[in-house]
A = this chain, B = another copy of it.
Amino acid sequence: MTVADTTARPLDTEFDRGTAVTEDPAEPGVHHAELDGGWRIGGGINGGLLLATAARALSRELGTAAGHTDPYAISGYYLSASRPGPATLRTEVVRRGRTLSTGQVSLSQPGPDGIEVERLRVLGSYGDLDAQHADVRTSATPPELPPPDRCISTDQAPPEFLAQADLLHRLDLRLDPACVGWALGAPSGNGVIRGWLRLADGREPDPLMLLLAADALPPVTFDLGLFGWTPTLELTVHVRAKPAPGWLLLSHATRNLAGGYLEEDAEVWDSTGRLVAQSRQLAAAPRP
């Protein structure tokens, strides 16, 4: 792990390379990306990383007017599992407003027969977080957990788990010991997982990185004793402030596992204790 080099160019980090998009010189609004297998978890590329990639393309399109580069609210609907390799992002500017602009992205990849398969459809409203009022009346307080050096690094996860979760090598993820009973065969049953996150290469958080953070912890179903794949169907993130440098505190929770589905609520707090992002996803529960 290296310390953040604040002079680094935007593409000098794993996260920036992983979410890089290049405009198609011939087709306005079309961007290309190369999805990197290093962000794989289970059967596909991590949903938060994908959302950040789509969000970056939209940021480019909406940011050209009024500086609306930051996603205030962004919703991704996951259609099929993304694979490492090339992807095409087609953006549409839905509305340009004075304080907010709204756009849409479709991310697709060539299927086995070469025909494009859509992976993700995204809607988002963007603005300029630096232009928001300074008034902060947040009543929510961050959960209390031990400092990162007294939490449990996912480096210590069983090798068979790490083998399915390439992205863990790119994250420095420290789980609250109170929420890792599942790793020892004794899940708490509370449906809560908390931990600290920073990027392994020291890249500091920003609004796009918060989209990854919202989907970075292990599934809360582990804490319910349900292991296996919990594919995200829909993920909506509200980015509420630019995060301060340093560790992010993450909290994921579910309260409504029913009918084969569950919601997963995430909160992301920055190192100053500010609630910088809130998200909810609908995921399919592991098959019993």
Contact = CB atoms under 8 A, between A and B. Distances in A.
A102 interface: yes
B137 A258 contact: yes
Interface string A232-271: 0110101011000000000000011111110100000000
A224 interface: yes
A160 B118 CA distance: 50
A58 to B, nearest CB: 12
B260 A240 contact: no
B133 A282 contact: no
A275 interface: yes
Number of copies of this kind of chain in the complex = 2
Nearest to A282: B73
B280 A140 contact: no
Contact of A129 (B133, B259, B263): B259
Interface residues of A, number: 49
Contacts of A104: 121
Nearest to A104: B121
A280 B280 contact: yes
A234 B125 contact: yes
A188 to B, nearest CB: 11
Contacts of A219: none
A261 B140 CA distance: 15
Contacts of A191: 139
Interface string A75-109: 10101100000000000001100001010100000
Given A123-B123, A138-B256, A236-B236, 15 more contacts: A72-B234, A73-B77, A73-B234, A77-B94, A100-B233, A102-B121, A121-B123, A125-B233, A129-B259, A132-B259, A137-B257, A138-B255, A139-B190, A238-B263, A256-B275
Nearest 3 CB-CB pairings of A with B:
A132-B259, A140-B255, A73-B234
